[in-house]
Amino acid sequence: MPATCVVGMQWGDEGKGKIVDLMSEGCDLVVRYQGGANAGHSVVIGEQSYAMHQIPSGILREGVTCVIASGVVLDPEELEAEVAGLVEKGIDLDGRLWISDRAHVVMPYHKTLDRLREAALGDAKIGTTARGIGPCYADKYNRSGLRVADLVKPAGAADRIRRAVAVKNAEIVNLHGSEPLDADAVVEQFLAYAEWLRPRACDTAVRINDALDAGRHVFFEGAQGSLLDIDFGTYPFVTSSNASAAGLAAGAGVSPRRVDRFIGVAKAYTSRVGAGPCPTELKDAVGDRIRERGREYGTTTGRPRRTGWFDAVSVRQSVRIGHIDELAVTLIDVLTGFETLNVCVAYNLDGARVEHLPADAEALDRCRPVYETLPGWQEELGGITSFDDLPAAARDYVTLIEERVGAPVRTVSVGPERGQTIRR
């Protein structure tokens, strides 16, 4: 059976949750391999909406086992609430959720420091979600982090937590002038989480590779998007993990040679949350219209997203880095009603034509989009089930995206529900 990876092509919020939910039918395992509770993958089934932050979107498919792999930074507090919310909506998680014992744990001091450090940056702030993701990854690479394996050990966890709180309190108090955390309260809270995590913690790399060896169908789910990748994104306005397809191998403990198919998910336009360059951003009534039609407000934070025309330059980079086999274009229905539509096919940087994403964020901020303009369409698309039945202008728009980013579009989403999806 094939192994498949779904990864975002833009700055996150592309609709990966819906695509994973749709394509994970019949899968055996769905694996989240990086990021943390800063992700917000939304799925709509009938009248019910679901928002997954750490649990893979495949949990909504009966019989699918979900894995939170070692590349994820795990927030037990958020995970407990997420599980409770799914159970309340009738989703049975019994025996269907496994958590890597190598995953690093997001602690209260990570969230506190995330907020304090961001505030200290002033106008140069990154736009973090303040979920503690960056500080947790920093501890991971500084070799001072607390992993699930450390938390669930019968002995020693309390002492490790107290030592970590003491170190972090020194920065919280002395550098930022804020109130220290209560180490005893943190110990009590996280030892309680350990009881819940212990029966679910395991070596997920072994389980994933065993499943692949047995010919089972494994689905890998990326979080955030390729343009937020710590190495290939718009640094420093990025997340703290490899959010491109390149992050799969290290995050899941699986060789990339075992993945048969990479699916990139891209919106039919551009959106971005937080600070950082966004060459096609529309700070006008057109951008406001896209935001309202697309309900462009963060699933995790509720923040309004910045919106703009489709940027083929940046998506082309994501396609090449991930060697993407096919694209799923989402939210094309949002573009109904515009007389004309623009697609950015190059940048003008200080008078020169540029067809790749500059590494320098300041240079990218100076880039001005070079557009190709197409006629729009007026028909609502939500009820259309065949690509050939889309308005000619919508088909031409999809074709131009294919040509400019270098990957075929095999899936087109025309609405939020499962059934509002066209497969070519």
- List the catalytic residues: 13, 41
Beta carbons of 267 and 290 less than 8 angstroms apart: no
Instruction: Phi first, then psi: give them for residue 290, nearest 5 degrees.
Output: -60, -45
Q: Which two tokens stand for residue 390?
A: 């889309």
Residue recorded with tokens 């406001």: 288
Beta carbons of 317 and 404 less than 8 angstroms apart: no
Strand 261-267 relative to strand 218-221, pairing = unpaired
d(CA 123, CA 347): 26
3-state secondary structure the chain: CCEEEEEECCCCCCCHHHHHHHHCCCCCEEEECCECCCCCEEEEECCEEEEECCCCHHHHCCCCEEEECCCEEECHHHHHHHHHHHHHCCCCCCCCEEEECCCEECCHHHHHHHHHHHHHHHHHCCCCCCCCHHHHHHHHHCCCCCEHHHHCCCCCHHHHHHHHHHHHHHHHHHHCCCCCCCHHHHHHHHHHHHHHHHHHEECHHHHHHHHHHCCCCEEEECCCCHHHCCCCCCCCCCCCCCCCHHHHHHHHCCCHHHCCEEEEEEECCEEECCCCCCCCECCCHHHHHHHHHCCCECCCCCCECEEECEEHHHHHHHHHHHCCCEEEEECHHHHCCCCEEEEEEEEEECCEEECCCCCCHHHHHHCEEEEEEEECCCCCCCCCCCHHHCCHHHHHHHHHHHHHHCCCEEEEECCCECCCEEEC
Cis upstream peptide for 2 (omega within 30°): no
d(CA 151, CA 225): 30
Instruction: Phi first, then psi: give them for residue 351, nearest 5 degrees.
Output: 95, -5
Beta carbons of 87 and 50 less than 8 angstroms apart: no
